[in-house]
Chain A
Amino acid sequence: MRFWLPAAIMLIWFVMAIAGPFFALQPDYIQLDKIIAPPGDGSWFGYDDLGRPLGDRVVAGAQTSFFVALWVVSVSLLFGTVIGAASGYLGGWCDHVTVRVIDIFLAFPGILLAIAMAGLMGPGIDNVVIALSTVGWVGFARLARAQVLSIKHREHVQAAVALGTGQARIILRHLIPLILAPLIVEASFAVAGVIIGEAGLSFLGLGIQPPDASWGSMIRDGTRYMLVAPHIVLVPGVALMLVVLSVNLLGDRLRDRLDVRAAARDRQV
């Protein structure tokens, strides 16, 4: 139950995102006689303030959140890991500069920097990905650096150095594979953060632009009609909450399964 329910929700999210285009949905199809119509009458989720089917728009919003999460987490994981691992392994001034840069990025609380960037670049899905990735790589870099610092003096690394292995190869083949477990756990929680981040930017009007659907912009549109049509804000909100909750639950399980904390403790000894 604690595994299968969240896993099932994730699967539904995944299928909606990947197979959505094949469902012949009409998220932008306006039916004027159905404006703010509640669920029932042949539709499960009702219609929004323009008479568009909410169910179809939730699926379209799932695509948005899925692809933004996929891109942002992949880009952040890649850049963050390589920068952090290289900085931790190489040390010296390169490490000093990286640590300072990380400190500066961490001085912007939460998604503030992403809000400012998305605002300056103008709205759009590409800019959302750029803004959230600019914020996202820092966490991975800090984690990768700390992990590399704790394993860089191991014998197999010394052996590789003694054999004349290049620095890039040591970082990519001998260090990064060993620190993947905590990074994957971090990535799973980052997915939750990015989903909320995208929805938040879209809620503020800085993300996905109409008529494209995002759960965040659907919530924003729905808040105007809460008294007469609460389903408009309820449907995308529940979808968002269920997906984020499932990601967090599975992330918790992944952390326990990969035993990240215990592994980190062993390495320090």
Chain B
Amino acid sequence: MLNIVISRLISALLVMLGVSCLVFFLIHLVPGDPIEVMLGESAQLADREALRHALGLDLPLLTQLVNFFDGLLRLDLGISLHSRQPVVDILLERIPATAELAVAALAVAVAVAFPLGILAAMRKDTLWDSTSMGVSLLGVSIPNFWLGPMLILLFSLWLGWLPVSGREGLASLVLPALTLGTAMAAILARMIRATLLEVLGEDFIRTARAKGLDERRVIGVHALRNALLPIITLLGLQLGVLLAGAVVTEIVFSWPGVGQVTIDAIQRRDYPLVQAAVLLISFTYVLVNTMTDLVYAWVDPRIRLQEGG
């Protein structure tokens, strides 16, 4: 098990190193002069040179790269061009809101997906099955930037039950969490159905039924536990998609999280802040995936015991 942990951590570090390089080079790979994009074509030459110097873009490329990694290690990713605050502070301030939204969306997804997936698998090829799979296909096909406004229209503007936007109290969390959780619930439900059906065809399920166990116990104890492994993996992968979806969802609901800051920074061409926000989101994704891998290894005795651990 220790070997697995070490090798996963090393490979996560390598990926994060690569991600940092890509984010660093993004500004150089993009065609045109980044300074011109930030300031506009009509900017004075002196202003351009001042910004170029402030961002360190006048230094040799290698020096820039070294400075970038030096700053990354010290968690100093520069100053926001817009607010003049350290970008790390700006992001730290926004993390709780995004974390809250992600956890709530995850809860929505799990709460919807398990009943839907299990129902579809138990009643395969019936109306229950086709209805729940139809609902889940619909969930995959509705982009969150449209689902969000639709939910606002229905529950906030017409029915007046929930607030339109902002982050004040639990009521304001409901619609963003529903919006963000829907696609994940849909994908998860399909996956749960498929894995459960596969497991239900196994010999030990027939044995369990032959022993006379009631169906609830066959599904809950024997089938679901064995179907859980691929579901955990998908959950980890989907959590990353959730982070990307949070960017859009936060815009729809004016939710004051990392995603909103990212889009604001992109629109203001606040390059250091964009860089740091993209790094934060993808680092989180890499870490979540690594943890998923480790949980997977820990849950599955075949992997856990493989190395004699």
Contact = CB atoms under 8 A, between A and B. Distances in A.
Q: Please determine whether chains A and B interact with each other in the same assembly.
A: yes
Interface of A: 100-101, 103-105, 107-113, 115-117, 119-122, 192, 196, 199-200, 203-206, 216, 219-220, 222-223, 226-227, 230, 233, 237, 240-241, 244-245, 248-249, 252
B263 A204 contact: yes
A226 B14 contact: no
Given A120-B26, A120-B274, A237-B150, A115 B266 contact: yes
A113 B244 CA distance: 9
A109 B157 contact: no
Which interface residue of A109, A111, A119, A244 has the most chain B CB atoms within 10 A? A109
Given A103-B18, A115-B266, A245 B149 contact: no
Interface string B278-300: 10011001100000000000000
Interface in B60-74: none
A204 B251 contact: yes
Given A103-B18, A120-B30, A122-B37, A233 B153 contact: yes
A196 B144 CA distance: 9
Given A100-B14, A200-B248, A120 B145 contact: no
Contacts of A199: 143, 145
Contacts of B244: 109-112
B95 to A, nearest CB: 16
B34 A192 contact: no
B16 to A, nearest CB: 7
B16 A107 contact: yes
A197 B153 CA distance: 23
A223 B146 CA distance: 9
B281 A237 contact: no
B231 interface: no
Interface of B: 11, 14-16, 18-19, 22-23, 26-27, 30-32, 34, 37, 137-138, 140-143, 145-146, 149-150, 152-153, 157, 240-245, 247-248, 251-252, 262-263, 266-267, 269, 271, 274, 278, 281-282, 285-286
Contact of A244 (B11, B32, B141, B285): B141
30 contacts: A100-B14, A104-B22, A107-B16, A109-B243, A109-B244, A112-B244, A116-B26, A117-B30, A119-B274, A120-B26, A121-B31, A121-B32, A199-B143, A199-B145, A203-B145, A206-B266, A219-B145, A219-B149, A220-B145, A222-B149, A226-B153, A226-B157, A233-B146, A233-B150, A237-B146, A240-B146, A241-B146, A244-B143, A245-B138, A248-B140
B145 A216 contact: yes
Contacts of A205: 267
Given A100-B18, A227-B157, A109 B143 contact: no
